[in-house]
Amino acid sequence: MSKGTVVLAYSGGLDTSCILVWLKEQGYDVITYLANIGQDEDFEAARKKAESLGAKKVFIEDLRTEFVEHFIWPAVQANAVYEDRYLLGTAVARPCIARRQVEIARREGAQFVSHGATGKGNDQIRFELTCYALYPEVKVSLFIYCMDVIYRHCGVMSLQLERSRAPADLYLMTKNPEDSPNVQDVLEIEFKKGVPVKVTNMNDGISKNTALDIFSYLNEIGGKHGVGRIDIVENRFIGMKSRGIYETPGGTVLLKAHLDIETFTMDKEVRRIKQGLGIKFSELVYNGFWYSPECDFVRHCIAKSQENVEGKVQLSVFKGQVYILGRESPKSLYNEELVSMDVQGDYDPCDASGFIRINAVRLREHHRLQGLSSTKQ
Subset of residues 314 to 353 that bind a copy of itself, contact rule: CB under 8 A: 318-321, 323-327, 331-335, 337-338, 341-342, 347-353
Toward a copy of itself, which CB reaches closer, 56 or 271? 271
Residue pair 139/146 in contact by the 8 Å Cβ criterion? no
**Cα 56 to Cα 6, 26, 117, 308, distances in angstroms:** 10, 15, 22, 50
Q: Is residue 260 part of the contact set for a copy of itself (CB under 8 A)?
A: yes
Q: Is residue 136 part of the contact set for a copy of itself (CB under 8 A)?
A: yes
CB atoms near residue 39 (< 10 Å): 16
- Measured CA to CA, the distance from residue 14 to residue 57 in angstroms comes to 19
Binders of a copy of itself among residues 285 to 304 (CB under 8 A) are 288-289, 291-294, 297-298, 300-301, 304
Q: Which of 305, 306, 309, 317 binds a copy of itself (CB under 8 A)?
A: 305
Find the distance separating the first CA and the last CA of the chain, reported in whole Å. Answer: 87
Sheet strand arrangement including 207-208: 207-208, 195-201, 185-192, 311-318, 321-328
- Measured CA to CA, the distance from residue 209 to residue 217 in angstroms comes to 10
Residue pair 172/247 in contact by the 8 Å Cβ criterion? yes
- Smallest distance from the beta carbon of 38 to a copy of itself, in angstroms? 25
Q: Is residue 21 part of the contact set for a copy of itself (CB under 8 A)?
A: no
Site string for a copy of itself, 79-118 (x = CB under 8 A): x---xxx---------------------------------
Residue 101: which of 8, 182, 163 has the closest Cα?
8
Backbone angles phi, psi at 62, to 5 degrees: -85, 100
Query: Binders of a copy of itself: how many residues, by CB under 8 A?
Result: 108
Q: Which of 125, 157, 187, 285 binds a copy of itself (CB under 8 A)?
A: 125
Binders of a copy of itself among residues 200 to 239 (CB under 8 A) are 229-235, 238-239
Contact range with a copy of itself by CB under 8 A, out of 195-203, 209-217, 246-254, 271-279: 271-279
- Smallest distance from the beta carbon of 132 to a copy of itself, in angstroms? 4
Name 171's Cβ contacts closer than 8 Å, sequence gap at least 6: 163, 165, 229, 247
Q: Which of 148, 181, 203, 340 binds a copy of itself (CB under 8 A)?
A: 148
- Smallest distance from the beta carbon of 218 to a copy of itself, in angstroms? 18
